[in-house]
Amino acid sequence: MANSLNTIEINEIMSLLPHRYPFLLIDRVTDYELGKSIQAYKNVTINEPFFTGHFPQQPIFPGVMILEAMAQAAGVLGFKTMGNNDQLYLYAGIDKARFKYPVVPGDRLDINITFLKEKRGIWKFQGIAKVGDKDVCNAEFMCAIRDL
Report the pLDDT value the prediction gives residue 67, as an integer from 0 to 100.
Answer: 97
State the Cα–Cα distance between residues 123 and 129, nearest whole angstrom: 19
Q: Is residue 2's pLDDT more than 50?
A: no
For the beta carbon of residue 29, count every other beta carbon within 10 angstroms. 23
**Average pLDDT score over residue span 25-42:** 97
CATH number for position 98: 3.10.129.10
Sign of CA dihedral 109, 130, 70, 77: positive
Q: Flag whether pLDDT at 83 surpasses 80.
A: no
Containing domain of residue 70, as a range? 10-147
Element (H, E) at 92: strand 87-99
Within a domain: 22? yes
54 is catalytic: yes
Task: Give yes or no for residue 77 having a pLDDT over 50.
Answer: yes
> Which residue among the candidates 54, 62, 88, 99 is catalytic per the annotation?
54
pLDDT at 1 over 50: no
Nearest to 148 by CA among 102, 100, 109, 90: 90
In a domain, 5, yes or no: no
- Give how many domains the chain has, as a whole number: 1
- Domain-located, residue 2: no
Is it true that the peptide bond before 22 is cis, omega within 30 degrees of 0?
A: yes
In a domain, 1, yes or no: no
Instruction: Report the predicted TM-score, pTM, of the whole model to 2 decimal places.
Output: 0.92
